[in-house]
Structure 1
Amino acid sequence: MNLTKLLAGTALALGLATAAAAQDKTKVGFIFVGPVGDGGWTYEHNEGRLAVEEHFGDKVETVYQESVPEGADAERAMTQMALGGADLIFTTSFGYMDPTINVAAKFPDVKFEHATGFKRADNVSTYSARFYEGRAVQGHIAGKMTKTNKIGYIGSFPIPEVIRGINSAYIHAKKVNPDVEFSIVWAYTWFDPAKEADAAKALIEQGADVILQHTDSTAPQAAAQEAGNVITFGQASDMAEYAPMPRVSSIIDNWAPYYIDRVQAVMDGTWESTDTWDGIGPGMVEIGEITDAVPAELKAEAEALRDSIGAGEYHPFTGPINKQDGTAWLAEGEVADDGTLAGMNFYVEGLTGDIPQ
């Protein structure tokens, strides 16, 4: 055999080995609604992606697309990812629900995981976190720390996930402070720092000295810091750069264990369509450090509430609770069922204003 043939054969063997190694890798895609640097929701999902890379090393390849609008753009991005050889695709926003179902139907061999939705298929799982458990802890702190009795809440979209959080925070603020009032501003965006800042400033001008948010940027934290004497809570991520004031604690979404588990299931061939809704107990929802800006006694109360929810001893939606119009919803000691919570489209008694349709 001459040297040319030997080299050609070696090159071919190396090429085939490289191709085989690439095929052996599990390709995992992520579709993000905001930028990975948003400091909130998308940041934490991307931390989960990075945890997958760290855990599996060269057994996986991850790809992602950030700032994908909900709707037709999302469908195009998912289709491109599936055509690019993804074995598993995580679609990480509520508004991706129908696009996920549509694209999954065209790619039956690709597994899809949709965050915060409720539509499933043989190759589509759903997953979410019980953020309302964290809202209960925030509400307790907020109700005790407000001096004006006015709490502002920046909502993204009027979907069940956000409505649950508002109700949970309000119930627990009201429990410790019967005089508390909530003002809700709808931003109609997950991530728009300018809009979020404007919403926070408007609420502060109306007398709110606590701002809660279900939007993804740190702009409300910055607005509160500028105003002074206003407290906030990190949303989805710790937002600890604003601690110890205004950010006195946070809800942290910890997706990494779930992402690692689902990638492993694809590798093992055991992946099945499931619905996962975990909270403080399993560790999908974490309460960020409660700072020393919170009085020690209140901090202990908040931690006890967190622990009792995590242990399953207390459910944030435990009766008696009425709906906004005064009709009975939960009797004394009765606990809300997951079906009602998953589709929640009403405020509880005491909240003012209408939920936008």
Structure 2
Amino acid sequence: MKLTKLLTTAAIALGLATGAMAESHGGKTKVGFVFVGPVGDGGWTYEHNKGRLAVEAEFGDKVETVFVENVPEGPDAERVMTQMALDGAKLIFTTSFGYMDPTLNVAKKFPKVKFEHATGYKRDTNVSTYSARFYEGRAVQGTIAGHLTKSNIVGYIGSYPIPEVIRGINSAYIHAKKVNPDVQFKIVWAYTWFDPAKEADAAKVLIEQGADVILQHTDSTAPQAAAQAAGNVYTFGQASDMAEYGPMPRVSSIIDNWAPYYIARTKAVMDGTWESVDTWDGIGKGMVGIGEISSAVPADVKAEALALKDAIASGAYAPFTGPLKKQDGSDWLADGETADDGTLAGMNFYVEGIEGTIPN
């Protein structure tokens, strides 16, 4: 535990080393980013950091950005945010679900600082929330997965059993089942956002259980590498394109595009128009992208997946459209009925056909 604290303190010192300098550069707006993983993870944090770099490119010497990576969710996060605020940050993005309560706690101490929390649901006068409708991308992935599997077993690596992850599992399953009635999902919970060893082990377990397609809601490329080593296993990039593993095993991806949001919210702080809002955008507004579908996917399957993407983007189709039942067989959505955002935001159940229970 002492080592963890020392490492966290060192990370704060490194990430905020430019803090004192900011005060001497009059007129600059300092923007802070708190990252749960390393900026080189090739997934979630990598894309958030691309958004940070886009802010620098957009505003040049009018802004200064600082960041700390590998910040555990909990008290360490609160210390990092506090230090950023003390060092003059006017806007702080906290980029993981487990930062929600620490963000609110620190925001109360610094009412003049604006905070933006990713994937959470609690706001305050100086705290906004933002997330992407990743489940829209999962619908596209599920469609491809249902077509590609020969064993009829699709593996899914879950991070934590929170609504965001459960939505993704349900969406992928619904759409895999539509194109392949015999498909089964096997789910392994890694209980981490970023741990390459655990993620690789989860992928290997799923492959041993017969999965020949693997989806993931964890941040590293380790499942891609495990699938590549196994051979004849399809995967999908998570949060970032992970195209270095294409055309096999990675056949497509969900890409998180945070740059436009980060630029807009930074500009709002700079011009004094920032307000506390809740943003939840998807494919249509470009916050969720679908990576190139590789040559390993048959042309007709690719066409079907892209048509689904376009229908979601235009609003012609919603991934959670009835008739749908819950796992226990009870009715959920009637024929043609679509799920409301409140239900989706708090989703804590599997849809009918998924085996197993959701951990507490």
Could you state the TM-score of these two structures normalised by the residue count of structure 2? 0.94
Q: Does 1:306 align with 2:312?
A: no
Residue deviations 1:4-54, cap 9 Å, x none?
xxxxxxxxxxxxxx9887231000000000000000000000000000000
Q: Partner amino acid for 1:119? A: K
**What is the aligned partner in structure 1 of residue 265 from structure 2?**
262
Cα distance in structure 2, aligned partners of 1:346 and 1:199: 22
Q: Secondary structure at the match of 1:290?
A: coil
**What is the aligned partner in structure 1 of residue 51 from structure 2?**
48
Residue deviations 1:298-330, cap 9 Å, x none?
100000000000000000000000000000000
Residue deviations 1:126-166, cap 9 Å, x none?
00000000000000000000000000000000000000000
Q: Does 1:327 align with 2:307?
A: no
Q: Partner amino acid for 2:220? A: S
Residues 20 and 80 (structure 1), Cα distance of their counterparts in 2 relative to 1, 3 Å cut: closer
**What is the aligned partner in structure 1 of residue 203 from structure 2?**
200
Q: Does 1:91 align with 2:94?
A: yes
Q: Secondary structure at the match of 1:126?
A: strand
**What is the aligned partner in structure 2 of residue 29 from structure 1?**
32
Contact 2:22 2:64 survives alignment (8 Å) = no
Cα distance in structure 1, aligned partners of 2:22 and 2:74: 35
Q: Partner amino acid for 1:253? A: D
Cα distance in structure 2, aligned partners of 1:59 and 1:19: 11
Cα distance in structure 1, aligned partners of 2:158 and 2:85: 33
**What is the aligned partner in structure 1 of residue 104 from structure 2?**
101
Structure 2 residue corresponding to 1:63, chosen from 63, 66, 81 = 66
Which structure 1 residue ranges, 4+ long, deviate > 4 Å from structure 2? 18-21
Residue deviations 1:204-248, cap 9 Å, x none?
011000000000000000000000000000000000000000000
Contact 2:253 2:292 survives alignment (8 Å) = yes
Structure 2 residue corresponding to 1:291, chosen from 294, 301, 305 = 294
**What is the aligned partner in structure 2 of residue 142 from structure 1?**
145
Question: 1:273-292 counterparts in 2 under 5 A?
Answer: 273-292=276-295
Question: 1:92-241 counterparts in 2 under 5 A?
Answer: 92-241=95-244
**What is the aligned partner in structure 1 of residue 13 from structure 2?**
none
Contact 2:255 2:289 survives alignment (8 Å) = yes
Cα distance in structure 1, aligned partners of 2:174 and 2:209: 21
**What is the aligned partner in structure 2 of residue 245 from structure 1?**
248
**Structure 2 gap segments, 5+ residues each:** 1-20
Q: Secondary structure at the match of 2:235?
A: strand
Could you state the TM-score of these two structures normalised by the residue count of structure 1? 0.94
Q: Does 1:72 align with 2:100?
A: no
Q: Secondary structure at the match of 2:67?
A: strand
* TM-superposed deviation, 1:340: 0.4
Cα distance in structure 2, aligned partners of 1:332 and 1:207: 33
Q: Secondary structure at the match of 2:78?
A: helix
Q: Partner amino acid for 2:310? A: D
* TM-superposed deviation, 1:171: 0.1
Q: Secondary structure at the match of 1:24?
A: coil
Q: Does 1:81 align with 2:76?
A: no
How many residue pairs end up in the alignment?
340
Q: Partner amino acid for 2:162? A: I
Q: Partner amino acid for 2:108? A: A
Q: Secondary structure at the match of 1:250?
A: strand
Contact 2:35 2:94 survives alignment (8 Å) = yes
Q: Secondary structure at the match of 1:139?
A: helix
**What is the aligned partner in structure 2 of residue 354 from structure 1?**
357
Q: Secondary structure at the match of 2:26?
A: helix
Q: Partner amino acid for 2:238? A: Q
Q: Secondary structure at the match of 1:157?
A: coil
Q: Partner amino acid for 2:43? A: G
Cα distance in structure 2, aligned partners of 1:326 and 1:205: 30
Report the RMSD for the aligned CA atoms in angstroms.
1.0
Residues 212 and 19 (structure 1), Cα distance of their counterparts in 2 relative to 1, 3 Å cut: closer
Q: Partner amino acid for 2:180? A: N
Q: Partner amino acid for 2:73? A: E
Percent identity between the two aligned chains: 81
Q: Partner amino acid for 1:121? A: D
* TM-superposed deviation, 1:100: 0.2
Cα distance in structure 1, aligned partners of 2:314 and 2:22: 48
Cα distance in structure 1, aligned partners of 2:101 and 2:178: 38
Cα distance in structure 2, aligned partners of 1:130 and 1:93: 15
